[in-house]
Amino acid sequence: MHHSVLSSLLSPAGFRIRRHAKISPATAFRRLWPLTRPERVHLWTAVLCQTISVGCDTAAIQVFSYLTDTVLTSAEPAKFWKPAGWWFAVALLGAAVTFAAHQLTSRAEEGFRLRCRDEVFQHAQRLPPHYYENNPPGDLLARFTGDIDEAEHVVASGPLQLLNTAVSLVFFAGAALWLRWELALLTFAATPVLWLATRRLSRPIRALSRTERDRYGELVDALDENLMNMPVVQAYNRQETESLRVHRRGAARMRSSLDRARLANAYQPLANVVESVTVLAVVGAGAWEIAEGRLTVGGLLAFAAYLGYLYPQVQSLGSLAVSVSSATAACERLFEVLDTRPAVSRAAPRADTATAPPHAGGPGVVTLDNVGFTYPGGNRRIVDGLDFTAYPGRLVLVAGPSGAGKSTLAKLLLRFYDPTEGRILLDGRDIAGIPLRRLREMITLVPQDPMLLDGTIRENIAYGRPGADERRILAAAAAADVDGFARHLPHGYDSAVGPGGRQLSGGQRRRVAIARALVRDTPVLVLDEPTTGLDGESARRVMDPLRRLMASRTTFLITHDPRLAAQADVVLSVGQLPEFLDVPPSGGRAKVV
């Protein structure tokens, strides 16, 4: 059940995720910034609101200083009300624009996450089957979720925080310089210490964050694998072994998380110490200024307030650098997915094939023209020199030992990959010149694993042709012998099949998959081991509707089942012919090529 280990040994190396070189936050920002286009109005409006909010804070401090010097020291309560009204109005405006800024920021953040996830997932849908066989699904899931959440800091909340900090520094530092420039310069003297601490911490934090994200992906993969295979774990009494495996991955993730947190948490106490030393120095110098008559009590309190606003902003620059370093590690993992190239191109049809005339014999004529294939990154030829034409209404049995390339032929027909040599023609046209969407609308694959989706029986049948009406769905269900068991379920065709179709038997899942293929109604049909693991009665119930499905279609039947050999018109040998086909089936009716 350790599929990630087995797939790394058996699958082509060309589709493993390859570790990127480290990138800078600026590079990550440039790559992800286009995804924020629909939210840029929100982002810039949030910046404007934050600027107004900082201005309100600055004005409120000035009002406070005025109150201290003109009301509290003069002991005239009547002077309180007018500046109090100003203060309250400024506070209301500041609260309103702060709320608006937070709402706009949240909208921009979530909008980016949605678009980034769509972008990564849509790209992942173009990657070939071996990509998923080679890379743990749990780790990919972590990239589509947690890594995207982290990457948002690079293009939305992080830049907004940086702009807000810059505006705050301009306002508060400017006000402090205007109030008493000597004290302000004393305050700014501590800034290089914080900058140096940030520089020393950000690089190792990014490396540790990358390790933490990798460990998290491994943990999610272990959990996903165990939950999917829990009946096997229980049947073989392997609960303790698997619990230990999950624990070890969780502990590895915890250690990497603690290592990162140790460095990240060191910054705040250091900043607090620097701030405390600076405040004490300012208070001491301010007391001297008051004694010399160069500063009022209200002025000193206002200066202290500016300092109280200013230093958190300076500290936030360091915290921002740390968080962006962590987010950049998540971006690296996303770019590793995005930079994996599909095995085939979706380019426009080539001129030399797009206009080729249809092949004689009607729709569905498939020609293999000296086809050879080697997986990218592999060194073993899987398919070699296949030269053959299949016609509608004829059953082509694809035979050969395991690993000889039988299922690879199905992947080539559907253009998951392009042949290394030769070409494949459909009705006289090179399929490399047919748009992928159009090509796959002409071929139906019924895989060995039916791959039902978590929904109802009706939804799984209709999946073959979106928009199919009720009559067409029920006709396909009847032809595939689904109706025989579906009507006895509590909710009939609206009964849930469960994740992966687990609430149905193996034979029932296959019949639903056949009904889905019947609804699809394409001229070419590829059946991959349709009776594997079924007893005689179950195989008969599956093959009866398959015979109806194969009528008038070009059908490739991949199988090891000798019960199906007698029905073949042609046997297409991929590698050594199996023993049960040493004698041509059906008394010599089928031709072996």
Residue whose tokens read 């020291």: 73
CB 154 within 8 A of CB 328: yes
Mean pLDDT of 434-461: 86
So what's the pLDDT on residue 406? Answer: 77
Residues 286 and 384 in one domain: no
So what's the pLDDT on residue 301? Answer: 67
The domain that holds 268 is classified in CATH as 1.20.1560.10
Mean pLDDT of 541-555: 75
So what's the pLDDT on residue 353? Answer: 44
Residues 332 and 366 in one domain: no
Residues 413 and 294 in one domain: no
- Distance, first Cα to last Cα, the chain: 37
| Of 158-162, 429-433, 550-554, minimum mean pLDDT range | 550-554
Instruction: Look at residue 423 and tell me if it is in a domain.
Output: yes
Instruction: Look at residue 316 and tell me if it is in a domain.
Output: yes
Q: Report residue 578's pLDDT band, with 50, 70 and 90 as the boundaries.
A: low
Helices (H) and strands (E) in the chain, counts: 22, 10
Instruction: Look at residue 16 and tell me if it is in a domain.
Output: no
Residues 333 and 357 in one domain: no
Q: Mind listing the pLDDT tens digit for each residue in 287-335?
A: 666 666 666 666 666 666 666 666 666 666 666 777 787 788 888 889 9
Report d(CA 250, CA 216) in Å as an integer: 8
Residues 120 and 242 in one domain: yes
Mean pLDDT of 185-192: 64
**If you write DSSP's letter for every residue of 108-150 in order, what string do you get?**
HHHHHHHHHHHHHHHHHTTS-HHHHHHS-HHHHHHIIIIIHHH
Q: Mind listing the pLDDT tens digit for each residue in 119-158?
A: 999 888 888 888 887 888 878 888 888 889 888 888 888 8
Q: List strand residue ranges (DSSP E) for 194-283, in order.
A: none
Q: Report residue 272's pLDDT band, with 50, 70 and 90 as the boundaries.
A: low
- DSSP 8-state class, residue 38: G
Residues 218 and 301 in one domain: yes
Decide which of 66 and 121 is more confident: 121
Q: Report residue 583's pLDDT band, with 50, 70 and 90 as the boundaries.
A: very low
CB 400 within 8 A of CB 575: yes
Instruction: Look at residue 7 and tell me if it is in a domain.
Output: no
Mean pLDDT of 162-180: 74
Q: Which of 279, 308, 338 finishes a domain?
A: 338
So what's the pLDDT on residue 48? Answer: 92
What values do phi and psi take at 572, rounded to 5?
A: -100, 110
The domain that holds 418 is classified in CATH as 3.40.50.300
Residues 329 and 405 in one domain: no
Report d(CA 542, CA 39) in Å as an integer: 52
Average pLDDT, the chain: 76
For residue 452, is pLDDT > 60?
Answer: yes
CB 327 within 8 A of CB 154: yes
Q: Which of 338, 360, 390 finishes a domain?
A: 338
For residue 432, is pLDDT > 80?
Answer: yes
So what's the pLDDT on residue 177? Answer: 67
pLDDT > 70 in the chain, percent: 68
Decide which of 418 and 581 is more confident: 418
For residue 102, is pLDDT > 80?
Answer: yes
At 302 the three-state DSSP class reads helix
Decide which of 504 and 449 is more confident: 504
For residue 352, is pLDDT > 50?
Answer: no
Mean pLDDT of 418-426: 91
So what's the pLDDT on residue 278? Answer: 66
For residue 588, is pLDDT > 60?
Answer: no
For residue 347, is pLDDT > 60?
Answer: no
Please report, as a single letter, which amino acid is at residue 316: S
CB 574 within 8 A of CB 383: yes
Exposure of 229 in the CB half-sphere (CA atoms within 13 A): 16
Residues 487 and 389 in one domain: yes
Residues in Cβ contact with 330 at an 8 Å cutoff, skipping those fewer than 6 apart = 146, 147, 148, 149, 150, 151, 209, 213
| Of 115-124, 147-156, 228-237, 267-276, minimum mean pLDDT range | 267-276
CB 423 within 8 A of CB 582: no
Q: Which residues pair with 426 in a beta bridge?
A: 366, 429
Residues 334 and 356 in one domain: no
Strand pairing report for 443-446 and 395-399: unpaired
Report d(CA 51, CA 45) in Å as an integer: 10
Residues 303 and 369 in one domain: no
CB 479 within 8 A of CB 430: no
Q: Report residue 360's pLDDT band, with 50, 70 and 90 as the boundaries.
A: very low
For residue 45, is pLDDT > 90?
Answer: yes
Q: Report residue 13's pLDDT band, with 50, 70 and 90 as the boundaries.
A: very low
Q: Which of 338, 362, 383 finishes a domain?
A: 338
Q: What tokens were used for 470?
A: 């009720």
Mean pLDDT of 202-227: 76
Mean pLDDT of 236-246: 80
So what's the pLDDT on residue 112? Answer: 92
So what's the pLDDT on residue 282? Answer: 65
For residue 504, is pLDDT > 80?
Answer: yes
Q: Report residue 191's pLDDT band, with 50, 70 and 90 as the boundaries.
A: low
Q: Report residue 99's pLDDT band, with 50, 70 and 90 as the boundaries.
A: very high
Q: What angle do CA 352, 356, 361 make, to 5 degrees?
A: 150
So what's the pLDDT on residue 211? Answer: 80
User: What is the total count of domains within the chain?
Assistant: 2
User: Which range among 165-174, 296-305, 548-557 has the greatest average pLDDT?
Assistant: 548-557
Residues 318 and 362 in one domain: no
For residue 76, is pLDDT > 70?
Answer: no
Q: What tokens were used for 282?
A: 């300012």
So what's the pLDDT on residue 357? Answer: 43
**If you write DSSP's letter for every residue of 399-458 in order, what string do you get?**
E--TTSSHHHHHHHHTTSS--SEEEEEETTEEGGGS-HHHHHTSEEEE-SS----SSBHH
What residues make up the domain containing 583? 351-592
So what's the pLDDT on residue 11? Answer: 39
Report d(CA 301, CA 370) in Å as an integer: 87
**Count of C-beta atoms within a 10 Å radius of residue 356:** 14
Residues 317 and 411 in one domain: no
Mean pLDDT of 486-496: 88
So what's the pLDDT on residue 308? Answer: 66
Decide which of 345 and 10 is more confident: 345
Q: What tokens were used for 568?
A: 């073949």
If 0-12 CB within 10 Å is exposed, 13-18 middle and 19+ buried, where does residue 582 land?
A: exposed
Decide which of 9 and 375 is more confident: 375
Q: What tokens were used for 142?
A: 């972590």
Instruction: Look at residue 6 and tell me if it is in a domain.
Output: no
Closest CA to 517 of 452, 434, 427: 452
Instruction: Look at residue 343 and tell me if it is in a domain.
Output: no
Q: What tokens were used for 504?
A: 């149905």
CB 433 within 8 A of CB 352: yes
pTM of model > 0.85: no
**Alpha helix positions (H), 339-376:** 351-354
pLDDT > 90 in the chain, percent: 6
